[in-house]
Amino acid sequence: MFQGQCNCGTVQFEISSQPSDVYVCHCSICRRSTGANGIAVVVVANENFSWLAGQENVQSWKRPGADWQTWFCGTCGSKLPGINDAKRMYIPAACFGPELQLQVIHHIYVDSRASWDVIGDAGVQHPEGMGS
């Protein structure tokens, strides 16, 4: 089991599988949402994810007119796990401690990355989503 949490510790969760692969989204929506070059996430099956504390403190925001939503702690604002699709959750990689050994394997939407965003690892770069 691997545990993660928000910055203030109000929201806590665990996963029962060991992720190692990190996906970094560089799209403009993720950049604006994080205030950084995008967001680094791991993806796990729904059945391998469970909330431990603070689920009632999880807030979300859906971008009007787009199929995009983000989840965050209502107290500290930290990004939190959210629905990736019907079978999987995405979890911001920074929610985990250093004991989880992770590696970036894919960069998505690199054609829309910021001009100052230099990708310096060996992750596969996709111009758009994983289908491109």
User: What pLDDT is recorded for position 131?
Assistant: 63
User: What pLDDT is recorded for position 3?
Assistant: 94
User: What pLDDT is recorded for position 45?
Assistant: 95
CA distance 16 to 45: 10
User: What pLDDT is recorded for position 96?
Assistant: 94
Question: In the chain, where are the structural domains located?
Answer: 2-125
Give every residue of the chain whose pLDDT is below 70, as ranges. 131-132
Class of domain 2-125: mainly beta
- State both tokens at 66: 């787009």
User: What pLDDT is recorded for position 87?
Assistant: 93
Q: What value, to the nearest 5°, has the Cα angle with vertex 90 and ends 2 and 48? A: 45
Task: Assess contact for 107 and 126: CB atoms under 8 A.
Answer: yes
